[in-house]
Amino acid sequence: MKREALIVALDVEDLQKVRQIVRSLSPSVRFYKVGLRLFTREGPEVVRWLKRKGFKVFLDLKFHDIPNTVGQAVESACRLGVDFLTVHALGGEEMMRAAMESARAASKKLKKTQPKIFAVTLLTSHHRLAPLGIPGSVKNGVLRLAELARKSGVDGLVCSPEEVRELKKRYGKSLRLITPGIRLDSQGKDDQKRTATPKLALSLGSDYLVVGRPILKALHPREVAENFLKGRD
């Protein structure tokens, strides 16, 4: 797989730890995900630091609010120069469209490359929807939200390995797919219920794989990252 298809999730507590991880994974890894835990602790500076070092950044904050607020948040993300960012498909078509319009306008104004916006369908920790008051199966829920996202014009979807084949069949290259929940065969699932090996996810049609704990907690992180890049199970 291409190096930039592997996105390492920086699910750690602070920038000092980020620096240690980046050193341990260089030059194998070129793309990093900044999520809620890290961004809440360190704020925009962690994104700026990664961009100064020449890395691509996936800002995974799953924006979900009224359209105007999400549009403003996307504009702020554009100012940081992020490459990918996420919105929640559950926020609705109008909200997702506002995110796309804001990304286009802000990027043009700032003369920056427009970030790709990915809609999160259902989290990989979800394996039953009944407790949420949503009828139907997880798969059907994902497909309904995916179609809503497509209509809004987003660049891609975040989905579990279980939905990749169907989504790729439906949308082909028109929507890029980011797949979290990637594990090597010998590794546990942690709190994620819908997982797959890198080889399987890629064969099903995933464009990008997000990997966190299996690499970050490894005794030799760069070696494990290389195994993922080589598609080893």
- Any idea which architecture 3-229 has in CATH? Alpha-Beta Barrel (3.20)
- Asked about 199 being catalytic, the answer comes back as no
pLDDT at 191: 45
Name the pTM for this structure: 0.91
Structure tokens at 192: 């994620």
pLDDT at 137: 78
Structure tokens at 105: 């306008």
pLDDT tens-digit map of 53-67 = 999 999 999 999 999
Give the E-state strand segments of 64-214 in sequence order.
84-88, 116-120, 156-158, 176-179, 208-211
- Once rounded to an integer, what is the mean pLDDT over residues 114-127? 83
Q: At 56, which helix (H) or strand (E)?
A: strand 56-63
pLDDT at 186: 45
> Are the beta carbons of 56 and 30 closer than 8 angstroms?
yes
Which residue is catalytic, options 62, 116, 168, 193? 62
CA distance 228 to 233: 8
pLDDT tens-digit map of 124-148 = 565 666 666 677 777 888 898 999 9
Half-sphere exposure of 147 (CA within 13 A, CB side): 7
CA distance 37 to 11: 7
pLDDT at 66: 98
